[in-house]
Amino acid sequence: MRQTGLVKSAVAALAALIFLTGAATDPYFRVAEGDTLKKVVALLGNPATPDKDLTEAESGTIRNTLAKLDSKGARNFVIWKRERGLFYVIGFGKQGAVTVKHRFFMLK
């Protein structure tokens, strides 16, 4: 029984380490409220072209999810399609600055 607790603790510590390492290296975490689109593109690269880069299901899921979330004054959203079902969706307000950002994971 005692070993089970140690194994669970070791697994939790390893998961935290993996998350923190990913957070430290993921440029998404460097995007801040108030950043311009130009700065975000410099951090994340060119965004996706929804008509070309996203499937209909991916676009629909993102649209439906955004409708349920607080847009914090965002007038338009820009999408970055990353690897393995990861999407960054950044909202920009009327001043052209980041007001909200989201990360979505979609499983196939």
- Residues 4 and 17 occupy one common structural domain: yes
State how many domains the chain has.
2
61-91 residues labelled b (16+ CB within 10 A) or e (exposed)? ebeeebeeeeeeebeebbbbbbeeeebbbbb
Per-residue pLDDT of the chain (108 residues; tens, 9 = 90+): 456 666 666 666 655 555 555 556 789 999 999 999 999 999 999 999 989 999 999 999 999 999 998 889 999 999 999 888 899 999 999 999 999 999 988 887
Structural domain harbouring 96: 31-105
Nearest to 97 by CA among 73, 70, 69, 61: 73
Structure tokens at 69: 């979330």
The verdict on 64 and 93 lying in the same domain is yes
Whole-model pTM: value is 0.75
Q: Are residues 40 and 1 in the same domain?
A: no
Q: Are residues 43 and 9 in the same domain?
A: no
